[in-house]
Structures are given as structure tokens and as C-alpha cells.
Amino acid sequence: SIVRATTTTQIVKMMFESGAKEVHVRITAPPITHPCFYGIDMASRSELAAARMTVDEIREHLGATSLGYLSIDGAVGAVGKGRDHFCLACFGAGYPLAVPSEVRKTAFEEDHVGVMAAVSSGQPKLFDS
């Protein structure tokens, strides 16, 4: 996948420097347009290449001859299960839970730290251990 486009840019550059006449990039995932709040350490939306550029703008930024992504339906279809079996939020298909439109990826971690501090200070626990 292309997240910020930094690694792919370097790879495309190295391929051209090695003598490639053309570099056609194919990404086996849909464009990542939204951050993940469920365990993947991703940037804020403003840092995601596909959230701020079109596919052609990303291709130009990479310096590639062409760029193609797998569609959401293509990704789901390749696995052979319905959309309801996957979280597709980072591809812009909606979060399973409500999330503010622009939130830092650390917001949930910071909230968790606050909960853990409250638990360790003797306040009531959320769950019995």
C-alpha cells in the first residue's frame, strides 16, 4: 500500500536510476484515505497521500509511468467473503464506530492512558479482574 508515498517514491527513483525505461506501479490494496484507529500506526488524514491527491497526482509525485490500485470490491472479492467481514475504514468505506472527521491517531491511546491512570489510583474499575 501507499501511505505517505515516501518509500514508493524512493523505489521508483532507484528503478529509473538502474536503467528502467518505464515504471508501472500496481498496489494490491485500495488507496488509503483515512487513518486507522484500530491498531495500525498510521498518519493523520492530512499526511495520507491518497487523502490529498488524486491517483494521477500520486503517480506524478512518485515519478512513475503509471499507477493502479486494487478497488475495495476487488480486494473484498479476492478474499471471497462479504464486506461485513472486514474493516474497510482506512479505504474510506466508513468506520464501524463513530470517529471525529479529524482526530489525532494518539487520541485513543491518550484516552486509554487516562482510564488506566484512574484504575491504578483506586477509582472504580471498568471490568472485574
pTM of the model: 0.73
CB within 8 A of 48, min separation 6: which ones? 3, 4, 32, 33, 34, 35, 42
Residues 56-82 have a mean pLDDT of 96
Q: Summarize pLDDT for 1-54 with one digit per residue, the tens.
A: 899 999 999 999 999 999 999 999 999 999 999 988 877 777 688 899 999 999
Please say whether the structural domain 6-96 has been given the CATH code 3.40.720.10. no
